[in-house]
Homo-oligomer: A and B are copies of this chain.
Amino acid sequence: VANNFVPNQRMKTYHLALLAPLLIGAFSSLRAADDMTALRADFEKTTAAFHQALRTNDADSFFVYVADDAAIMPPNEAPVRGKAPMRTWYSNFLSAFRTTTLTLIARETLVDDNWATELGQYEWTLKPAAGGSPVIDKGNYMQIWKRQPDGHWLFFREIWNSSIPLPQPTSK
């Protein structure tokens, strides 16, 4: 009987060693779901702060969320590539217009392991810096966000357009 004692103890150790990968396997899908929930929560928090910076004309806060290699594709002009050129572009924008309201409608967020997309429609009230009546634009937008190694999200690409019909050419 005493002869069997040592092997039994060792087998018990093996049992525990076997249990570990089984437990890891069983819980890995739960852990992955938890990771995705955390990723989504961080994405929602980040994009909310980003849009709030835009609403309050706060360029410094806005660019905290922008990747160095970001680019925007505004309508009716060339794309703006890189964080520094984007700063100049937004500075020019702010010298012409101040945002008074920005409402996001039919917003969708698609969060994946490395990239996240936000899209929807906007209603944007802009007050001309030179004075005069506010301008209201309505349109669509789509943004790509890039996950960083530390788990945070940075703004990477955006395109938008206006839903307002173009003025019909007047007959001469």
Contact = CB atoms under 8 A, between A and B. Distances in A.
A18 B14 contact: yes
Interface in A1-38: 3-4, 7, 10-11, 14, 17-18, 21, 25
Contact of A11 (B14, B78, B79): B14
A76 B163 contact: yes
Closest 6 CB pairs of A and B: A112-B112, A73-B140, A21-B21, A75-B161, A7-B7, A161-B161
Interface majority SS on A: helix, strand, loop or mixed? mixed
Nearest to A25: B21
B144 A110 contact: yes
Nearest to A114: B112
Interface string A95-134: 0000000000010101011110101010000000000000
Interface residues of A, number: 41
Contacts of A14: 11, 14, 18
A75 B7 CA distance: 75
B110 A113 contact: no
Interface in A63-110: 73-79, 106, 108, 110
B162 A75 contact: yes
